[in-house]
Amino acid sequence: MSIKEKLPSFLEDIEKDLDRTLKFWLENSHDDEFGGFFICLGPDGRVFDETKYTWLECRQVWMYARLYNDLEKYRKPQILQAAIKGADFLKQHMKNPDTMKCCLSMTRDGQPIKIQRTIFSECFYLMAMSELARATGETMYREEALAMMDKILFWVQKDDSQLGKTQLPGNKPYCSLANPMMLLCLIEQMETMDPTLADTYKDSATWCLKEVNKHIQRGGSIILENVSVDGEELAGSNGRLMVPGHAIEAGWFLLQRALKSGDTTLQKTAIDKFIVRPFQTGWDELYGGLFYFLDVDGLSPTQLEWDMKLWWPHNEAMIAFLMAYKATRDEEHLHKFQRVFKYSYSHFVDHCYGDWFGYLNRRGEVKLNFKGGPWKGFFHVPRCQLMCMQLLKDIIASEK
């Protein structure tokens, strides 16, 4: 059977898997007493910690709203109501209305536990509000998203002193891939909510692309996670760090942008430099799967979890290779997609209780068996499932 003939079967498997994942979170994560979602769910869905991690709270709202908006099958009042209830809990508890700063974690009843000196909680808050504005048509959510976008752009591009970071002489500013990537994702989100905003954020999008490109290093052969403000390599472990899953995620963000604008140079950069090369470098030839962290010079990373196989890089790679195939019709991308699919469905997917395990050791054995935890919720897995379904449907339709 040719690989192209297998596309309908991939689609079928992924669709069933999304059903299971959604069911798992609908049944186990809703806090009917206080609102919001339980995030820390054991392998069978039991709550093992009541802390509400806001990145995941926001992403769950976003994901419900996105499923409602994009898939006929899930355009159900139950899904929309879950998104609205989640968003209302966040609006009530997560944000300081004066400073717009959002907390990172809360108690079950919404009291802030931790606040980070970064922009990410705020970014995910915006994502939730923006997608829900699209689902409900309510201006209240739209205005929350617009106001937060202005604030984030101000922090990133003009003045980040309000974030409360201590300025120390030894801590020189540097560029991390996460910031422009995140911003690019927000711009995409705002344009999805309202296409007429494309013009408003045009300059910011250009700025993001320029910033992301700084991370292409060593003659275009690799993507480094952190570089100097001038786009040079940084000394030390931090400078040599590669995060293959992150580069690949940036790759499909860029590719999405390139396809929208018809920018073929950007398309080639996205595929060759951000998707294909990091995948080749990041794939573990011995045991399969993508490493979490690598050192570009082959030294030992200092992160204790460097050789673990995490679920989300595999989600990003599945999206990236289907998107690359759709853009180029180069079957090599389909073969890569298949490699990640096979690894994931034989290692990460829990065919018993549903959803994916998140954390495997290098050999691919489940090492942390929960489905939701401080950094994993209802987001990367269903986003991947939804996007892969959409991509596969488009591809299958166009090749008939």
Give the footprint of a copy of itself on this chain (CB under 8 A): 40, 42, 48-51, 103, 105-107, 110-115, 166, 168-171, 235-238, 299-302, 304-308, 359, 361-362, 367-370, 373-374
Q: From the CB of 175, what's the least distance to a copy of itself, in Å?
A: 17
Q: From the CB of 359, what's the least distance to a copy of itself, in Å?
A: 6
Nearer to a copy of itself, 113 or 147 (CB): 113
Residue 131 to residue 135: CA distance in whole angstroms: 6
Residue 315, C-beta contacts closer than 8 angstroms, at least 6 positions apart: 344, 380, 381, 383, 384
Nearer to a copy of itself, 112 or 251 (CB): 112
Nearer to a copy of itself, 233 or 331 (CB): 233
Residue 181 to residue 186: CA distance in whole angstroms: 9
Residue type, 79: I
Q: From the CB of 307, what's the least distance to a copy of itself, in Å?
A: 6
- Which tokens hold the place of 45? 């869905």
End-to-end CA distance of the chain: 17
Q: From the CB of 206, what's the least distance to a copy of itself, in Å?
A: 32
Q: From the CB of 91, what's the least distance to a copy of itself, in Å?
A: 17
Nearer to a copy of itself, 71 or 366 (CB): 366
Name the pairing type of β-strands 222-223 and 294-295: unpaired
Residue 274 to residue 272: CA distance in whole angstroms: 6
Smallest CA-to-CA distance from 242 within 330, 176, 195, 326 is with 176
The answer to whether 372 and 29 are in contact (CB under 8 A) is yes
Nearer to a copy of itself, 55 or 68 (CB): 55
Nearer to a copy of itself, 49 or 263 (CB): 49
**How many C-beta atoms surround the C-beta of residue 372 within 10 A?**
28
Residue 200, C-beta contacts closer than 8 angstroms, at least 6 positions apart: 190
- Which tokens hold the place of 249? 């995620």
Residue 190 to residue 197: CA distance in whole angstroms: 7
Residue 31 to residue 21: CA distance in whole angstroms: 18
Smallest CA-to-CA distance from 111 within 89, 126, 130 is with 89
Read out DSSP for 5-39?
GGHHHHHHHHHHHHHHHHHHHHHHSB-TTTSSB--
Nearer to a copy of itself, 275 or 308 (CB): 308
Q: From the CB of 285, what's the least distance to a copy of itself, in Å?
A: 17
Chain centre to alpha carbon of residue 395 = 23
Q: From the CB of 310, what's the least distance to a copy of itself, in Å?
A: 9
Nearer to a copy of itself, 171 or 398 (CB): 171
Nearer to a copy of itself, 231 or 374 (CB): 374
Nearer to a copy of itself, 4 or 367 (CB): 367
Q: From the CB of 106, what's the least distance to a copy of itself, in Å?
A: 6
Residue 102 to residue 125: CA distance in whole angstroms: 8
Q: Give one word for 197, left, alpha or beta, with left for phi > 0 and alpha for psi -120 to 50.
A: alpha
Q: From the CB of 99, what's the least distance to a copy of itself, in Å?
A: 12
Q: From the CB of 95, what's the least distance to a copy of itself, in Å?
A: 14
Chain centre to alpha carbon of residue 144 = 21
